[in-house]
Amino acid sequence: MSVLDLLRPELRDFAGYGSARRAVDPAMAAADLWLNANESPHISPGDPSGEQRRYPEPQPLNLRKKLAAVYGVAPEQLLIGRGSDEGIDLLVRALCRAGRDAVVICPPVFGMYAVSARLQNAPLVEVPLIDGRDGFQCDLDAVAAAAVGNGAKVVFLCSPANPTGQSLTLDEIDSLASRLADRAVLVVDEAYIEFSEQPSCTGLLASHDNLVVLRTLSKAYALAGARVGAVLAAPELITVLRNCQAPYPLPVASVTAALATLTDEARSSARHRVVTLRAERERLLQVIARMPGVRRVYPSDGNFLLVRFDDAETCYRQLLAAGIVVRDMRAMPQLGDALRISIGSAKQNLRLEAALAEAAAA
């Protein structure tokens, strides 16, 4: 059996849209007049360099190679998309038959998994996180049982998890991927992995063709506006996802920004920023934990803290009155008294601290 047997059967020999950019003929390489894609021969005043006149490469090779090197995989194991959000959507669409094949999630968790399941009309199976003494924990035995028992095709785990902050170990991921082999695809969303001490689980891809890892330039690389993320998986699965993707998913400007963000120099500055941010996160955790009106601050491997308050509503409103917006988590299961606070710069954090000390005690 191969991971391709888990796909929606009608997609197994689906070739996707044959865009002008995808039709490749060796003679094309030598051509210098391209009249095959109904592009304008003129340059727009909005694009004086003319860089955006033509349709972009669907998967620019230089960016693909660069991201593959950064993430430690082969270029064939990687699909670039409009943020990891697009990866989530493509996976659900490619794997789940509407009304039949389930998606497993562990709430409280990032909302896009449920949104994509809903859009595809895939049944959603929830295995709640357990709020323990050391923070939230994922019950992986329950996840495996729920996936197998409900015939799920996709299991989403988030590590480090948003908004709860905890991580999974490689052993845990390895063992769950084995248990789900030939049954479901295990997707590990590593949007925050750069902020964690845990290594990425990309090293496990070689031994599990049902393992998928999501990475993004939106968080540690400070490029959320460019919408660049990656799906890392077995090459045969990457090919299928690519066929399901829109024909020209990556705007020229986003590709340019991504390449500039991945030079050695830019990566080294990103690493420095992460070190600073982690130190700020630990400092802020101590400070907030001691504030009156704060019930609990969870340890976090991400660039945020999840905080429970005696009166989260008042606290949220008072922060807002001070011009500070944090994320209200109260609608999420188990988080009726919680706010999620992104870690800012040292200066921003001082301002947050001052406002929070007042708001939490109010």
The pattern of x and - marking residues 62 through 101 that bind ligand PLP according to CB under 6 A reads ---------------------xxx----------------
Using DSSP bridges, classify how beta strands 135-137 and 78-81 pair: parallel, antiparallel or unpaired.
unpaired
Q: Which residues are CB-neighbours of 116 under 8 A, at least 6 positions away? A: 88, 89, 91, 92, 93, 103
CA 303, CA 281: separation in Å to the nearest integer? 7
Which among 298, 302, 333, 304 is positioned nearest to 106, based on CA atoms?
A: 333
Choosing from 95, 188, 191, 232, the residue that interacts with ligand PLP (CB under 6 A) is: 191
232 pairs with which residues across the strands?
78, 213
Looking at 146, 154, 158, 213, which residue binds ligand PLP (CB under 6 A)? Answer: 158
Q: How far out from the chain centre does Cα 127 lie?
A: 20
Specify the 3-state DSSP secondary structure of 327: strand
> How many other C-beta atoms are found inside a 10 Å radius of the C-beta of residue 133?
5
Phi (first) and psi of residue 162, to 5 degrees: -105, 125
CB of 224 to ligand PLP, least distance (A): 5
The nearest distance, CB 72 to ligand PLP, in angstroms, is: 19
- Report in angstroms how near the CB of residue 86 gets to ligand PLP at its nearest: 7
Instruction: Please name the residues in contact with 24: beta carbons below 8 A apart, sequence gap of 6 or more.
Output: none
Residue with Cβ nearer ligand PLP (98 or 119): 119
DSSP states of 245-263 as a string? Answer: S-SS-S-HHHHHHHHHHSS
With tokens 């020229």, the residue in question is 252
Among 162, 164, 166, 200, binds ligand PLP (CB under 6 A): 162
Tokens of 330: 């109260």
- Shortest distance in whole angstroms from residue 163 CB to ligand PLP: 8
Cβ nearer to ligand PLP, comparing 161 with 360:
161
Residues 20-39, mask of contacts with ligand PLP (x by CB under 6 A): --------------------
Residues 206-245, mask of contacts with ligand PLP (x by CB under 6 A): ----------x-x-----x----x----------------
The residue (of 226 and 315) whose beta carbon lies closer to ligand PLP is 226
164 lies in the binding site for ligand PLP (CB under 6 A): no
Three-class SS state of 334: coil
Nearer to ligand PLP, 105 or 359 (CB): 105
Please select the residue that binds ligand PLP; options are 110, 136, 195, 316, rule is CB under 6 A. Answer: 110
Question: Which CB, 56 or 160, lies closer to ligand PLP?
Answer: 160
Structure tokens at 136: 């939230």
Q: Which residue is nearest to ligand PLP (CB)?
A: 83
Cβ 297 to ligand PLP, closest distance in Å?
A: 19
Q: Which is nearer to ligand PLP, 80 or 234 (CB)?
A: 80
Alpha-carbon dihedral 118, 119, 120, 122, rounded to 10 degrees? 0
Binding residues for ligand PLP, rule CB under 6 A, total: 12
Q: CA 67 to CA 77: how far, in whole Å?
A: 11
Residues in contact with ligand PLP by the rule CB under 6 A: 83-85, 110, 158, 162, 189, 191, 216, 218, 224, 229
